[in-house]
Every structure is written in structure tokens, then in C-alpha cells.
Amino acid sequence: DWAKYLAMTGHPLSKRNLRAKVSELSEKLKAKKKLSGKDKGPSKTWVKDFLARHPELKLGRPTGIDPK
């Protein structure tokens, strides 16, 4: 729901934001080692697999504001 909320408010989902949020949530749940087997949080492979399981989510880049 967090990722969908970002999209609705005009903030595209980035790999960095997704990994940071998952790390934050896993820390709260004490599940960090289950995600990657390390203390680094979710791996790049995890992000790829997560996005494959959730095709409605798309990565994007923020765009500049039109000065007009």
C-alpha cells in the first residue's frame, strides 16, 4: 500500500526507496536475516523478484517541475 500511495501522490518508486522501506519494516519485525541472509537488508535480487511478483508496481524517476 505504501508504494501505491507514493505513485498516487506523484512520487515514483525507486529501488533505493523500496530497499530502505523494506529494511525499516524488517528491522521492526526482526526479519532482516530472512530477507537476504545478511545484515544488509534486501538484496538487488530480492527487489527484482518482488517487482516480478507485483507487476502493478513500476519503478520510476522523479521529474522536474515545469516552470511554466
Give domain status of residue 65, yes or no: no
What's residue 5's pLDDT? 83
Range 43-63 average pLDDT: 84
Would you say the pTM of this structure is higher than 0.85?
A: no
Residue 59 dihedral angles phi and psi, to the nearest 5°: -80, 150
Tell me: the pLDDT tens digits for 4-43? 787 777 778 888 888 888 888 888 877 555 555 555 677 8
- Full domain range(s) for residue 26: 2-53
Helices (H), the chain: 2-8, 15-29, 32-36, 44-53
Give domain status of residue 8, yes or no: yes
What's residue 6's pLDDT? 79
Distance, CA of 49 to CA of 59 (rounded, Å): 13
First to last CA, the chain: 33
Give domain status of residue 58, yes or no: no
Give domain status of residue 35, yes or no: yes
Q: How many domains does the chain have?
A: 1
What's residue 44's pLDDT? 80
Give domain status of residue 43, yes or no: yes
- Is residue 67's pLDDT more than 80? no
Residue 7 dihedral angles phi and psi, to the nearest 5°: -65, -40
